[in-house]
Chains A and B, each alone.
Chain A
Amino acid sequence: AQRVTQPEKLLSVFKGAPVELKCNYSYSGSPELFWYVQYSRQRLQLLLRHISRESIKGFTADLNKGETSFHLKKPFAQEEDSAMYYCALLSGANSKLTFGKGITLSVRP
Chain B
Amino acid sequence: DTGVSQDPRHKITKRGQNVTFRCDPISEHNRLYWYRQTLGQGPEFLTYFQNEAQLEKSRLLSDRFSAERPKGSFSTLEIQRTEQGDSAMYLCASSPLTNEQFFGPGTRLTVL
Q: Is B33 an interface residue (CB 8 A)?
A: yes
- Per DSSP, chain A at the interface is strand
Bound complex: CA A43 to CA B40 (Å): 16
Residue of B nearest to A4 (CB): B42
Q: Do B95 and A96 touch across chains, with their CB atoms under 8 A apart?
A: no
CB contacts (< 8 Å) of B56 on chain A: these are 92, 94, 96
Contacting pair A100 B42 (CB below 8 A):
yes
Is B45's beta carbon under 8 Å from chain A? yes
- In the complex, the answer to whether B31 meets A95 with C-beta atoms within 8 Å is yes
Known contacts A96-B33, A96-B56; is A86 also within 8 Å of B48 by CB? Answer: no
Instruction: Judge whether B101 is part of the interface by a CB distance below 8 angstroms.
Output: yes
Tell me if A74 counts as interface (CB < 8 A to partner B). no
Residues of A near any B CB (own CB < 8 A): 4, 6, 9, 32, 36, 43-46, 49, 86, 88, 90, 92, 94-102
